[in-house]
Chains A and B, each alone.
Chain A
Amino acid sequence: MFRIFYKLGLVFVAVAGLAAQPAFAETPNEILASIQKEAAGTPGFSAARGESFFKAKHGGEWSCASCHTENPAALGKHAKTGKVIDPLAPSANAERFTSPKKVDKWFKRNCNDVLSRACTPQEKGDVLAYLLTVKK
């Protein structure tokens, strides 16, 4: 009897684990959709605009490419510390743009470093649209 309860318990834990996942993990397209909501009223996102934004400096020392390189599907390197950074393009790194908390945290930090301000929803959407077109 006890054994059966124990087994049922394990099954329950496993199912609960599966069910809990979508709350944390999202797909890059779901994250793009939520940026789209924030950007309501703007003409839509452009991968080409995202690419030039990504590769340009914006008054400071660094561009996004300074750490993520001109090819976001390749390994990056932190411009100051030299630490290796995993590829940013979802095609090359399945973990990218799957956690809204992580995405928000790094947009805030990195935009501050590159533009000395937060990125607008338009800029974030353009960048993600661009990254989604980058092939491995």
Chain B
Amino acid sequence: MSIHKQKNFRMLAVALLAMGATMSAAQADDDRDERYGWRLGEKSAGKYGGENRGKPLQPAQTNAKFQKECSDCHIAYAPGLLPAESWRKVMAGLDKHFGSDASLDAQDNKEITAFLVNNASNRWSAPTAPLRISETAWFKRKHDGHEISPAVWKNPLVKSPANCAACHPRADRGDFNEHDIRLPK
């Protein structure tokens, strides 16, 4: 190897190492709980009694219809937050959707249902299928009285546990990073 080539090789190696390090740091941040959960829960029903979310991020391959049709009244909740069966139920009852009519035509409904089901939580092992993210065991655990005082929930800027963006500024992208949380004053 000429000196020149050696230098290039070293630079490449450093760059690759750096990339690897940032990637695993990012992953660790996102998946710390889950990996811990996997280890603990291997023999039991899994973390949170099996009511565990998958990746909260919007999938890299998103769906334009979903983004448009599911963000008119609230943020488009990332599909990984609920299991497939929950999404099937939500999508089958859009005409009576939490006190509101959110019905879609049959074709749009079919396309969005397929997207949600294909990207649903991959860690859900319980036989349950709640309609609300805010009723799942993982959600309750992360948002219990220990983490958030009752006064915060009464703040009119919060209104509802479903209002993720009140505390998670990038909730619409499925980014719930702990470091960004801002409780409204």
**A-side interface residues toward B, CB under 8 Å?**
78, 80-83, 105, 108-110, 112-113
Contact = CB atoms under 8 A, between A and B. Distances in A.
Interface in B90-111: 95, 98-105
Q: How large is the interface on B (under 10, 10 to 19, 20 to 34, 35 or more residues)?
A: 10 to 19
**Which of B98, B101, B102, B104 has the most chain A CB atoms inside 10 A of its CB?**
B101
Contacts of A78: 73-74
Contacts of B103: 105, 108-109
B163 interface: yes
Contact of A109 (B74, B102, B160, B163): B102
Given A82-B163, A108-B103, 6 more contacts: A80-B73, A81-B160, A82-B159, A83-B73, A108-B101, A109-B103
A53 to B, nearest CB: 18
A81 B101 contact: no
A83 B74 contact: yes
Interface of B: 72-74, 95, 98-105, 159-160, 162-163
A81 B162 contact: yes
A109 B159 contact: no
A interface, over-half SS: helix
B74 A113 contact: no
A87 to B, nearest CB: 15
Main secondary structure of the interface of B (DSSP, over half): loop
Nearest to A85: B72
A99 to B, nearest CB: 12
B128 to A, nearest CB: 25
Nearest to A114: B101
A113 B73 contact: no
A80 B99 CA distance: 9
Q: Which of B72, B95, B98, B162 has the most CB of A within 10 A?
A: B72
Contacts of A108: 101, 103
A80 B101 contact: no
A112 B162 CA distance: 23
B159 A113 contact: no
B101 A113 contact: yes
A32 to B, nearest CB: 23
Contacts of A82: 159, 163
A110 to B, nearest CB: 8
Leading 8 A-B pairs by shortest Cβ distance: A112-B101, A109-B101, A81-B74, A82-B159, A81-B73, A113-B101, A78-B73, A83-B74
A105 B105 CA distance: 8
A88 B73 CA distance: 15
B136 to A, nearest CB: 19
20 contacts: A78-B74, A80-B73, A80-B98, A80-B99, A80-B100, A80-B160, A81-B73, A81-B74, A81-B159, A81-B163, A82-B163, A105-B105, A108-B101, A108-B103, A109-B100, A109-B102, A109-B103, A112-B101, A113-B100, A113-B101
